[in-house]
Structure 1
Amino acid sequence: MTRTKKKRERKSLNNSLLGLRELLRAVDSQTPSSISSSARTRLNTEPKMEHATPPAAAAGGITATVDLSPAATDLGGAHLLPCGIRQNGGAPVSDYFKPRSTGVEVEGVRVEEAFFRGRKLQGATLALPDGYRGYVLEKKSRGKDAQNSEGEVSNFVSRAEFQNITYWNHDTTPSAEDSLPRCFHWLTVANAMHKPVTAEELANMSAMQNQDS
């Protein structure tokens, strides 16, 4: 390889590294730490698909508040049905909706059975992960907020709480691959990922690395 060709390749490599450095600097300048709190709120609440958002909705964000101060009724458990119910109010649910165990277990999931308006449902009960509580919320929307005329404000009030949830499938048998069990599994993984690492754990990791080397 000639000296001139080596110089050309070295110059090309330096230019590539310079471009990469500028790109990293540009990305770093756009990290969430450099975004104001109001901008972060709008980024978290506004729809990501700008073209699908009406102009009026795109102009202001959506703010939600949750009031957990009222004493909530402890339901123990709640049910997630595979349908929409266009009814707000009380109903004698226990008189008509009577889940029972089938004695069948699929992938470690105990299958339950119930009928809703003549349709057979199969479900499974899951306990909420440690450190989590479930709430039944009632929406009290105030429409336009006086202090934030550009955004819609939705207020929620806690009416009940629960420690486990039974989800129901219509056409399929419950399994560990359903969306809700996988969601709960992700919460466990996320907690492990974000858990602070202690000095003792770091020392143990260093000792293990030294042993391997």
Structure 2
Amino acid sequence: MNVSLKLGRNTANKPLELHFLPAKIFEDGTTDVDNYFNSYTRKGLDGILTNAVRGFPLKGEILKSPSNYRAFVLQSSEKHSEAKVIHNMYISGKFDNFTYWNYDKVPSKADTYKQALQMLDISKELCAPVLDSEILIEIDGMGLVIGGQENTI
């Protein structure tokens, strides 16, 4: 399968305002989000945002994109020809932060989505190169035997 990545027609330098909602919306059209959603968002004394979708209460918070990462919104399209399918991905915008929402539950570190974001930091640490000197320091600290000689502290 071939996939090509292209800049979208409406890609602007202005960051997008994104909301991660715990809902599926079966529509590709546009709506006045400021009027019908954002104007009803309230911030509590604890910093937690509240709102509702279709009568279901939402609680949320604004999350920043992980440091050292750039966040983009991608949209896909498919073109079918006789023998193959052509997949195109378009960068339709970028964002620095987004509002994360839960149904009637305060967002916490236990949320799977927030745990997925933490995995970016964990993977960075796991993939970092380890110097030989760091390995030797660890071995010395454990008192392991290397090459028939016992290493002690």
- 2:25 matches 1:78: no
Highest RCO, 1 vs 2 (Cα 8 Å, sep ≥ 6) = 2
Match of 1:152 in 2: 85
Structure with more of its chain in helix, by fraction: 1
Aligned pair count reads 140
One of 81, 106, 121 as aligned partner of 1:188: 121
Change (3 A) 1:79 1:73: farther
Stretches of structure 1 that go unaligned for 5 or more consecutive residues are: 1-61, 105-109
Preserved CA contact (<8 Å) 1:124 1:167: yes
Q: Aligned-residue CA RMSD in angstroms? A: 2.5
Please state whether the residue corresponding to 1:172 is helix, strand or coil. coil
Match of 2:66 in 1: 129
In 2, distance between residues paired with 1:175 and 1:206?
Answer: 39
Amino acid at match of 1:210: D
Question: Deviation of residue 208 (structure 1)?
Answer: 4.7
Larger radius of gyration: 1
In 1, distance between residues paired with 2:16 and 2:76?
Answer: 21
Question: Deviation of residue 139 (structure 1)?
Answer: 2.3
Amino acid at match of 1:67: K
In 2, distance between residues paired with 1:103 and 1:76?
Answer: 26
Preserved CA contact (<8 Å) 1:126 1:181: no
Change (3 A) 1:73 1:115: farther
One of 171, 175, 179 as aligned partner of 2:112: 179
Q: Percent identity?
A: 25
Please state whether the residue corresponding to 1:196 is helix, strand or coil. coil
Please state whether the residue corresponding to 1:207 is helix, strand or coil. helix
Structure with more of its chain in strand, by fraction: 2
Match of 1:96 in 2: 36
**TM-score w.r.t. structure 1 length?**
0.56
Please state whether the residue corresponding to 1:103 is helix, strand or coil. coil
In 2, distance between residues paired with 1:84 and 1:208?
Answer: 49
Change (3 A) 1:84 1:203: same
**TM-score w.r.t. structure 2 length?**
0.75
Question: Deviation of residue 209 (structure 1)?
Answer: 3.1
Q: Deviations over 1:21-53 (max 9, x none)?
A: xxxxxxxxxxxxxxxxxxxxxxxxxxxxxxxxx
Question: Deviation of residue 93 (structure 1)?
Answer: 0.5
Change (3 A) 1:210 1:139: closer
In the TM superposition, what are the counterparts of 1:9-158 in structure 2 within 5 Å?
A: 62-68=1-7, 71-98=11-38, 99-104=41-46, 110-144=47-81, 149=83, 151-158=84-91
Preserved CA contact (<8 Å) 1:114 1:121: yes
